[in-house]
Structure 1
Amino acid sequence: MRMLRALYNKAVYAGLTKHVYNLFHDVYTGIDKSHKKAMSPVDLNKLFFGKVSSPALIRAQQIARLMYCLCGIPFVDFQHVGADSVKDGSLNYSRRKTGVCVSIPVNKETVALIEKAAVCPSDMNTEEGYRHYQSLLRKFNASLSRLASKLGIKAHVSSYTIRHSWATTALYCHVPVEVISSALGHADIKTTQIYLKGFNAKEIGLANRKVCRCVENK
């Protein structure tokens, strides 16, 4: 609904349709923070290392694992990444969505994987290029769905699932939110917080016991 509202507003500004006052007044267009897209570490392990024989699924698996290892890089940016993006041991790219520059240290093995998993980039400034990107993304997401089904993973899997999963796993590994935000290329830390899956009651209880022990009588 957020996308539909944005398209409608653009159409109004372009003079392609009439403005209707409060058209989306009774429609929820916010972000449901209770809806999380992150996968569990167990399912991630299955997705990245499960045995498959189809060359198409093996390639999708390699790309998914590489995107995760590159701090959950989004597919729209991944398609423009290549060996020439690596300088002085770091992969450098600029987020298309936010313009934020991201630098990720990589080793020779990762560089080799980047070269092997490279996809044909799209010129997003042209209609033909944008259609090409959408086609690549649909095919990749369809391959991920088939891969997940083949490996017995019930959770929904897409390119953005990988990104959300990296962010949430980083949080569980006690990586500061500021670092996670920088690695994701977010312009606002509030966006990062939307990505993150909350801790359950057991984990909160464990953390609380640790904090309380700090002030207990010895």
Structure 2
Amino acid sequence: MKIDKTNVKTPLTKSELDLLIRKQMPNDRLDRIRDVFVFCCLAGLAFTDTDHLRREHLSTDEQGTQWIHKPREKTAVMSRIPLLPYPIKLLDKYANDPELQVKGKLLPVPSNQKMNSYIKEIAAICNIGKNLTTHVARHSWATAAQKHNIPISVISAGMGHASERTTQIYMAALENSENRHC
């Protein structure tokens, strides 16, 4: 598999993600978009997987850890992702939204085109000088997991990759991208 290094997205740093979480948005539209983007950053789901996330994809284990168990839309490979406290808080925030309940959705996900456009507005508001897109969120999750010494097998399962080799290629591309931007 050949890596297109020009298409590698620059992931968010922890401080940039913290800024996104804390920053007051000027309106409800951007607040909702920021919530979806941050959820993706902290859960590692691709945009379409977040859009198709339903209540039946959530479960709680014997230790009380909440999980996403969802087949990836792209590959049908099962993603197994433990939910951190903040993504749980975001799911709770929208749990009683009548429009989402009618649609059976958990989060207010717009079209990918609108999402990417609005994320750029949010980046400008937060003075984040990166080309933020929905896929940057996935890269941000993978990079954070790697920096916290999460085993490649766990990252691979979370990303729903068919093999660890795919994840290793993905992580190598991210490392090369980081080295170019330091």
TM exceeds 0.5?
Answer: yes
Code of the residue aligned with 2:127 in structure 1: it is G
- In the alignment, is the contact (CA less than 8 A) between 1:95 and 1:185 conserved in 2? yes
- In the alignment, is the contact (CA less than 8 A) between 2:67 and 2:82 conserved in 1? yes
Partner residue of 1:180? 155
Partner residue of 2:80? 103
Partner residue of 2:131? 156
Task: Show structure 1 runs of 5+ residues with no match.
Answer: 1-28, 123-132, 202-218
Partner residue of 1:140? 115
Q: Distance in 2 between matches of 1:34 and 1:194?
A: 15
Partner SS, residue 153 of structure 1: coil
Deviations 1:26-62 (A, max 9, x none): xxx9423476312222222222322222211111111
Partner residue of 1:112? 92
- In the alignment, is the contact (CA less than 8 A) between 2:146 and 2:152 conserved in 1? yes
Partner SS, residue 93 of structure 1: strand
Map residues 186-205 of structure 1 onto 2, 5 A cutoff.
186-196=161-171, 197-198=174-175
Partner SS, residue 198 of structure 1: helix
Q: Distance in 2 between matches of 1:137 and 1:66?
A: 15
- In the alignment, is the contact (CA less than 8 A) between 1:77 and 1:95 conserved in 2? yes
Code of the residue aligned with 1:36 in structure 2: it is V
Q: Distance in 2 between matches of 1:142 and 1:168?
A: 23
Deviations 1:133-174 (A, max 9, x none): 9x7010111110110011111111011000001101111111
Q: Distance in 1 between matches of 2:38 and 2:8?
A: 20
Q: Distance in 2 between matches of 1:33 and 1:82?
A: 34
Partner SS, residue 70 of structure 2: strand
2:34 aligned with 1:61, yes or no?
A: yes
**% identical aligned pairs:** 25
Shift of 1:103: 2.5
| 145-154 vs 183-192, which moves further | 183-192
TM-score, normalized by length of structure 1?
Answer: 0.63
Tell me the matched-pair count: 161
Q: Which runs of 4 or more aligned residues in structure 1 lie more than 6 Å from their structure 2 counterparts after TM superposition?
A: none
Task: Show structure 2 runs of 5+ residues with no match.
Answer: 61-65
- In the alignment, is the contact (CA less than 8 A) between 2:77 and 2:160 conserved in 1? yes
Higher relative contact order (CA 8 A, sep 6+): 2
Partner residue of 2:23? 50
Give the root-mean-square deviation of aligned CA atoms: 3.0
TM-score, normalized by length of structure 2?
Answer: 0.74
Partner SS, residue 103 of structure 1: strand
Partner residue of 2:63? none
Instruction: Select the structure of larger CA radius of gyration.
Output: 1
Shift of 1:64: 1.1
